[in-house]
Amino acid sequence: MSLRIVVTVKYVPDATGDRHFADDLTVDRDDVDGLLSELDEYAVEQALQISENSDDDVEVTVLTVGPEDAKDALRKALSMGADKAIHVEDDDLHGTDVIGTSLVLAKAIEKAGYDLVISGLASTDGTMGVVPALLAERLGVPQVTLLSEVSVEDGTVKGRRDGDAASEQLEASLPAVVSVTDQSGEARYPSFKGIMAAKKKPVESWDLSDLELEAEEVGLEGAWTAVDSASARPARTAGTIVKDEGEGGKQLAEFLAGQKFI
Amino acid sequence: MAEVLVYVDHVDGAVRKPTLELLTLARRIGEPVAVALGAGAGDTAAALAEHGAVKVLTHDASEYADYLVVPKVDALQAAVESVSAAGSLAAVLVPSSAEGKEIAARLALRIGSGIITDAVDLEAGDEGPVATQSVFAASFTTKSRVSKGVPVVTVKPNSTAVEAAPAAGAVESLAVTFSAQATGTKVTGRTPRESTGRPELTEAAIVVSGGRGVNGAENFALIESLADSLGAAVGASRAAVDAGWYPHTNQVGQTGKSVSPQLYIANGISGAIQHRAGMQTSKTIVAVNKDAEAPIFDLVDYGVVGDLFDVVPQLTEEINTRKG
Ligand SMILES: Cc1cc2nc3c(=O)[nH]c(=O)nc-3n(C[C@H](O)[C@H](O)[C@@H](O)COP(=O)(O)OP(=O)(O)OC[C@H]3O[C@@H](n4cnc5c(N)ncnc54)[C@H](O)[C@@H]3O)c2cc1C
Ligand SMILES: Cc1cc2nc3c(=O)[nH]c(=O)nc-3n(C[C@H](O)[C@H](O)[C@H](O)COP(=O)(O)OP(=O)(O)OC[C@H]3O[C@@H](n4cnc5c(N)ncnc54)[C@H](O)[C@@H]3O)c2cc1C
């Protein structure tokens, strides 16, 4: 038996940097350093653990849709231990919305071949948290999402989803789409050996024509949503800051009373 | 007037506040038609009518509890089709919970529509509803529209004040045929969360949070006492959650809940970007931290530089005294 896992990983602007929008109201990727979305490291980690815990022959492929620099995200995932990588890159992808992104990802996943897709719970830039559900809908396979615990055995994926009202045990047959939370287990750091090995691992590059997609189906023009304006939030007016010299709690209570919270 | 479908979040018939907020927003762009599914769906009608629902479409089946997400998508799609057939549909609004976003996304794809998630405001525009989003850890505000199909928009809790507006709320049962995918993901077990008696974190008007500075699970009693004096919900930073001092369901931030209360009090929390992502839209922000350089002080309306073990008990006592 063999198990083919595709992990979707996104290349995002560093959240600790000065993120902002370009003139066309898409994310400015030139001015801020990018990296592998931290939450996708958990997805890579779970794929590697499933692989390590399996008697089957498991292949872990990492997949990204993004600009040229997005290769950095793939390298990071490869150095953690993934076997190979696919980079979907095309100038016409600029400004793609989530419906379009899920279309490109689904086409690439089908072309790559898969038994299991693993995604992060949300990207750290768009933070929509809907790509995994969209992939399941497009691929026509079960969605087993937001898992804080996941295991795969005999063609079945099981996991725990911690929701607001309850914690649920889920189960589905493969093929399936899974997403994992940051509660699923610390992601490993790439070892020196891993980093060296990653340099030799294959990275395939596909464009829209490889996926039999037309430019009109994606990009800013093909988007089903439109951003009309983006403005920086006005800086908060400097607040009052007091040093506690024995009366700090009382002073704070006075402030809260003044604001009618008490 | 065009209809606006509102997906109802309820627990055994008790409608949760974010849904009432959606009804309030829905009235700005059309006539709200509510869709309530699962056990107790029919019991939601009175509350929904009180808040403006002209019609309440209900359906109950064991599939909603036994399988993940897809049965609800099937039902919402059936509602979209029945409303579109009878009149015109201006938008579909869904609460921005983790599940709500998944339902909305799959629905949008099926009905050929774009989707906007995590709106914090919604208004009518010349080319359809305009949604406000607060992005990049609330450092930017964007205005967006769905440009194809019936707009599907998910809205965050606390985005607007609930306004009552009594309407007919006529209950109609919805005909639903489940798709082949509906039974794909089985729910094989469910452990309900124990209620603490405190308000729901995302819906609370006041949130009192503790971080690494609280220094131990047992010390969270200080945070809880302060919360109780204000009738507030308790939040925690990821550092506190990872240390096992407080449950993950109470985590505030990028990978926890995002909250937007009238008042947020951060105790022993430094204010890392991932924490800010979940609380920066709070109306009034207060912090207690012994480090005057902590980044959280950049956000505050009022800050106390001091030891929380001195400040928090004094504050709690003062509040209790004032409340008599
Ligand atoms: C601030 C901001 C707001 C946005 N708002 C909207 C909106 O309201 N509507 C809309 O249609 N689009 C929106 N977009 C665009 C949308 O976020 C992106 O098009 C998109 O790549 C998918 O959404 P996400 O990044 O939110 O992914 P999420 O749904 O949060 O991602 C979940 C997982 O999907 C996988 N994934 C996501 N994108 C990729 C990728 N490119 N390559 C590989 N794996 C990936 C990862 O595993 C990730 O962990 C927004 C973008 C930004 C930056
Ligand atoms: C992908 C990702 C997602 C994340 N998601 C989240 C998230 O959802 N939520 C979240 O909170 N974090 C999140 N984090 C972690 C975040 O980066 C910070 O590590 C975390 O918020 C720090 O928590 P803290 O402020 O409690 O701890 P610290 O940063 O250690 O700060 C503790 C503060 O307490 C103060 N202090 C100590 N003792 C006292 C005392 N006696 N009295 C008063 N003050 C005292 C200190 O001065 C300090 O400022 C995420 C990180 C990553 C990488």
pLDDT tens digits along B42-64: 999 999 999 999 999 999 999 99
A118 alpha carbon, distance to own chain's centre: 10
**B109: Cβ contacts below 8 Å, ≥ 6 apart:** A99, A102, A134, A137, A138
The pLDDT confidence band at residue B33, using thresholds 50, 70 and 90, is: very high
Residue showing tokens 């690439």: A108
Mutate-to-test residue for ligand 2 from B201, B212, B258, highest number of ligand atoms within 8 A of CB: B212
The token duo for B216 is 């131990």
Q: Are A218 and A93 in contact (CB under 8 A)?
A: yes
Averaged pLDDT score across all residues of chain A: 96
Q: Are A46 and A150 in contact (CB under 8 A)?
A: yes
pLDDT of residue A1 exceeding 80, the answer is no
- Tell me the ipTM for this assembly: 0.96
Query: Considering only A25-34, A103-112, A186-195, B152-161, which range has the smallest mean pLDDT?
Result: A25-34
Task: Report pLDDT digits (tens) over B270-289.
Answer: 999 999 999 999 999 999 99
Phi then psi dihedrals of residue B66, to 5 deg: -90, -15
pLDDT of residue A238 exceeding 90, the answer is no
Task: Report pLDDT digits (tens) over A204-223.
Answer: 999 999 999 999 999 998 99
DSSP for B60-89, written as a single string: --THHHHB-SHHHHHHHHHHHHHHHHHS-E
A239 interaction partners in chain B (CB closer than 8 Å): 285, 297, 299-303
**B195: Cβ contacts below 8 Å, ≥ 6 apart:** none
Phi then psi dihedrals of residue A137, to 5 deg: -65, -45
Chain B stretch 78-137, residues whose beta carbon is closer than 8 A to a beta carbon of chain A: 97-99, 101-102, 104-106, 108-110, 113-118, 130, 134-137
- DSSP code, position B287: E
The pLDDT confidence band at residue A18, using thresholds 50, 70 and 90, is: confident
Averaged pLDDT score across all residues of chain B: 97
Beta strands A116-120 and A2-8 are parallel
pLDDT of residue A164 exceeding 90, the answer is no
Task: Report pLDDT digits (tens) over B224-266.
Answer: 999 999 999 999 999 999 999 999 999 999 999 999 999 999 9
What's the gap in Å between the CA of B286 and the closest CA on chain A? 9
- Give pLDDT, residue A245: 97
Which one-letter amino acid corresponds to residue B62?
S
The token duo for B3 is 């209809």
Closest by alpha carbon to B60, among B46, B73, B72? Answer: B72
Chain A stretch 117-156, residues whose beta carbon is closer than 8 A to a beta carbon of chain B: 121-122, 124-125, 127-130, 132-134, 136-138, 140-146, 148
Beta strands B233-236 and A34-36 are unpaired
Cis before B157 (ω within 30)? no
Task: Report pLDDT digits (tens) over B171-187.
Answer: 999 999 999 999 999 99
- Give pLDDT, residue A17: 86
Closest by alpha carbon to A3, among A60, A84, A77, A64? Answer: A60
- Give pLDDT, residue B195: 86
pLDDT of residue B125 exceeding 90, the answer is yes
A–B: how many Cβ contacts below 8 A? Answer: 259
The pLDDT confidence band at residue A66, using thresholds 50, 70 and 90, is: very high
Task: Report pLDDT digits (tens) over B306-318.
Answer: 999 999 999 999 9
- Give pLDDT, residue B87: 83
